[in-house]
Amino acid sequence: MDADRATRPAGAAGAALAHGLEARARIAEDAALSGGGAWRITGGAIALVAGLLGIAASVLDLDLIDALNEMITALGVFDAGAISVLNRAHAAVASADGALALAALTVVFAALAILLRQHWPGAGILASAVAGSLVGGPVDVACMVLGMAGGVLVVLAPRARVDREDRNAARSDPAGTDDGA
C-alpha cells in the first residue's frame, strides 16, 4: 500500500492528472488497436512475409531455369525441340525477373503499411500482388495470394474511432489540472 501511495500524486490535482493521463492512454489505445491499427499491422506483416517468400520463390525459379539452360547448352544438341526449350527458358527468366521485382514492391508497400497510418499502401500491396501472380510461376502465385490477403486487411482496416467523452476530457484539461468536480 505504501509503495502504491508513493507513486500516486497527492490531492485533487493528482487525481485530475491521473484522470487526464488515463483519458489520453485510452485515446492512444483506441486509435492504435480498435481503430484498425491491429488490422493494418497484421495485414502489413502478412504481406511482408508473402513478399519475402515471393522473392525466395523467384530466385529459386531463376536458379532452376539457369540450370536447365546450362544443361541444354552443355548437351550440344540443338534440334528444334532444344531451341524451343531455350526460348521458353528465356521467357521464363523474364517472367521470374518480373515476379522478383513485384515481390520486392510488395515488401516495400507492406513496410509502408506497417509504418504509416493510412490505407493507400494496402492498394499498392494489392496491385503488386495481383501483377506478381499474373507474371510469376505457380509458387509465386501462392505467395502473392497470401500478399493479397494482407492487402485486403490493410485496405479494409476500420478508421480510428475515439470516444467523444475521452476526447473532450483530453481537450478541456490538457495539463490535467481540473479536479473533476
50 and 109 Cβ atoms separated by less than 8 Å = no
Q: At residue 69, what is the residue type?
A: N
Average pLDDT score, the chain: 74
Q: At residue 25, what is the residue type?
A: A
Ranges of each domain in the chain: 38-155
pTM above 0.75, yes or no: no
Output phi, psi for 78, to 5 deg: -115, 75
pLDDT in tens, 108-122: 999 999 998 788 999
pLDDT in tens, 9-31: 556 555 655 656 666 666 555 55
Q: Which residue in this structure is represented by grid cell 522473392? A: 55
